[in-house]
């Protein structure tokens, strides 16, 4: 342990083998060893004794809309990565849309990286986008290190990012399968959406009826069929409909290469509690009923759903009008995702180890980041230090997001993030941030 620079000690360290008292040794930004609690500290190493606060791996959030450049009045790399760091997230992967340009060519990826480089408080990677017109750009983007490709099967909400029809999906997926890439999909079928009643207005029940479960279920069934035919890797984004779970479980059992995420808002908020006109709760697919939520939790517990990500997708407050049909759809969750999920997980009898598996280990694995997602020798020294039994009440004024609009306002949540560490450096503690120390990540393999 001669070159160890830093040692973190806690009575509760979450490792892949479980939670235990331990001492974690760090050199050059990497974990070199996880040692017994009372292990000797090398003379020239700094000791951080965390007492009974939990030392857990920093979260890896693979679904974030940073919107930078182009819609920086909505969000940006500086604010998004600070909010993430404050919430215990140490890696995010940026979605290819809502920025201008979208990440659909190698040139556009370069533009985004130039913008992100000196603003990233945490590590940042990039998804590419699959559009009807950019099949030829997919392989070059893959070779430039994007983690996979996002496609919509229904309108995305922004004109510059059109959705794929089934033929275009087949074409893009065949190309992506040719280099064994990953396609991540917003799965709602446009025909079912068109057929649903579209009343508009402030009533949440009307909005919910306009985005029915069968739109999700049908799109997921079609995606499974295409993935099976091409032996392609696909990932279902932000699953909301519990009716799709049997299809997914069956596909997984058959060996279809499919993974699935859901989001904190589907797991912790319910349709029954959304006030009319409260479009801070609007997202697509929508937050559904409490009974649906129970089934999502069951699916997380049994592994049908793999992971939990924020789908942080903010806009300016003026776009959050009280008409659900026209208000911007997207929920800002970066800073609160850990506490929100932990609060509900805890109530349902899950441990923090489960939360770490869903929000760090599995998301790191989804994007193949072998250096992230666990406290074990060889991984990056990325940590969240959490007081899991302390509570706080969500005050929008305390958020680091550019627009302090939140569906969680006034909620009392368990889990206070005391500090967040990136490659062995404490990047935030008690609301004080260091200068940005994040790196831009490319796919490992
Ligand atoms: Zn999204």
For residue range 309-332, list pLDDT tens digits in order. 999 988 888 888 889 988 888 898
pLDDT, mean of residues 171-199: 97
Q: 299 pLDDT exceeds 60? A: yes
The span from the CA of 270 to the CA of 161, in Å, is 29
Q: What is the pLDDT of residue 444?
A: 84
Portions of the chain given CATH number 3.20.20.140: 58-366
State the distance between the two ends of the chain, measured CA to CA, in whole angstroms. Answer: 30
| Architecture (CATH level 2) of domain 58-366 | Alpha-Beta Barrel (3.20)
For residues 80, 86, 92, 98, the Cα torsion angle rounded to the nearest 10 degrees is: -20
pLDDT tens-place string over residues 329-345: 889 899 999 999 999 99
CA 294 / ligand 1 centre spacing (Å): 22
CA 268 / ligand 1 centre spacing (Å): 18
CB 144 within 8 A of CB 113: no
What rounded mean pLDDT belongs to the chain? 96
pLDDT tens-place string over residues 4-45: 999 999 999 999 999 999 999 999 999 999 999 999 999 899
Helix then strand count (H, E) for the chain reads 13, 18
Residues 6 or more apart whose CB falls under 8 angstroms from that of 322 comprise 202, 276, 277, 278, 279
pLDDT band with cut points at 50, 70 and 90 for residue 199: confident
pLDDT, mean of residues 80-96: 98
CA 69 / ligand 1 centre spacing (Å): 17
For every residue of 160-202, DSSP letters joined together read TSPPP-HHHHHHHHHHHHHTT-EEEEE---HHHHHHS----SS
Q: What is the pLDDT of residue 1?
A: 45
Portions of the chain given CATH number 2.30.40.10: 6-55+380-391+410-433
3-state secondary structure (DSSP) of residue 141? helix
CA 80 / ligand 1 centre spacing (Å): 14
Q: What percent of the chain has pLDDT over 90?
A: 92
CA 127 / ligand 1 centre spacing (Å): 11
The candidate with the shortest Cα–Cα distance to 279, out of 229, 321, 223, is 321
pLDDT, mean of residues 239-264: 98
Q: 445 pLDDT exceeds 80? A: no
CA 285 / ligand 1 centre spacing (Å): 10
**Burial class for 291, CB neighbours closer than 10 Å (0-12, 13-18, 19+):** exposed
Q: What is the pLDDT of residue 306?
A: 98
Q: What is the pLDDT of residue 118?
A: 96
3-state secondary structure (DSSP) of residue 44? coil
CB 92 within 8 A of CB 61: yes
pLDDT band with cut points at 50, 70 and 90 for residue 62: very high
pLDDT tens-place string over residues 142-170: 999 999 999 999 999 999 999 999 999 99
Partners of 426 in beta bridges: 421
**What are 51's two structure tokens?**
């007492």
Residues 6 or more apart whose CB falls under 8 angstroms from that of 395 comprise 409
pLDDT, mean of residues 264-278: 97
Q: 364 pLDDT exceeds 90? A: yes
CA 253 / ligand 1 centre spacing (Å): 27
CATH of domain 6-55+380-391+410-433: 2.30.40.10
């Amino acid at each position: 342990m001669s070159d160890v620079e830093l040692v973190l000690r806690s009575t509760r360290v979450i490792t892949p083998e479980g939670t235990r008292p331990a001492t974690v040794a760090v050199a050059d930004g990497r974990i070199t060893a996880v040692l017994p609690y009372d292990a000797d500290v090398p003379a020239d190493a700094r000791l951080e004794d965390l007492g009974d606060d939990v030392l857990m791996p920093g979260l890896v959030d693979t679904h974030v809309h940073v919107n930078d450049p182009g819609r920086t009045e909505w969000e940006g790399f500086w604010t998004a990565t600070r909010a993430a760091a404050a919430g215990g997230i140490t890696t995010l992967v940026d979605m290819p849309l809502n920025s201008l340009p979208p990440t659909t060519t190698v040139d556009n990826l370069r533009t985004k990286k130039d913008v992100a480089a000196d603003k990233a408080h945490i590590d940042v990677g990039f998804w590419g986008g699959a559009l009807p017109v950019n099949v030829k750009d997919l392989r070059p983007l893959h070779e430039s290190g994007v983690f996979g490709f996002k496609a919509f099967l229904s309108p995305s909400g922004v004109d510059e990012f059109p959705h794929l029809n089934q033929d275009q999906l087949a074409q893009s997926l065949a190309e992506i399968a040719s280099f064994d890439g990953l396609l991540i999909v917003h799965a709602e079928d446009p025909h079912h959406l068109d057929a649903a009643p579209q009343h508009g207005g402030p009533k949440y029940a009307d909005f919910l009826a306009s985005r029915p479960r069968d739109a999700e279920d049908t799109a997921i069934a079609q995606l499974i069929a295409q993935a099976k035919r091409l032996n392609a890797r696909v990932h279902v984004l932000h699953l909301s409909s519990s009716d799709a779970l049997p299809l997914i479980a069956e596909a997984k059992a058959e060996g279809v290469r499919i993974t699935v995420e859901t989001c904190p808002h589907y797991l912790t908020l319910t349709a029954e509690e959304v006030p009319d006109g409260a479009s801070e709760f609007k997202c697509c697919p929508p937050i559904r009923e409490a009974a649906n939520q129970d089934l999502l939790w069951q699916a997380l517990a049994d592994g049908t759903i793999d992971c939990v990500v924020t789908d942080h997708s903010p806009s300016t407050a003026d776009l959050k009008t009280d008409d659900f049909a026209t208000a911007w759809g997207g929920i800002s969750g970066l800073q609160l995702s850990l506490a929100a999920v932990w609060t509900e997980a805890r109530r349902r009898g899950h441990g923090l180890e489960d939360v770490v598996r869903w929000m760090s280990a599995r998301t790191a694995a989804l994007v193949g980041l072998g250096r992230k997602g666990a406290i074990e020798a060889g991984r990056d020294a990325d940590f969240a230090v959490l007081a899991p039994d302390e509570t706080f009440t969500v005050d929008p004024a305390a958020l680091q997001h550019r627009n302090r609009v939140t569906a969680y306002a006034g909620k009392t949540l368990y889990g206070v993030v005391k500090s967040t560490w990136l490659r062995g450096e404490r990047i935030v503690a008690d609301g004080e941030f260091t200068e940005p120390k994040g790196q831009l990540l490319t796919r490992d393999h």
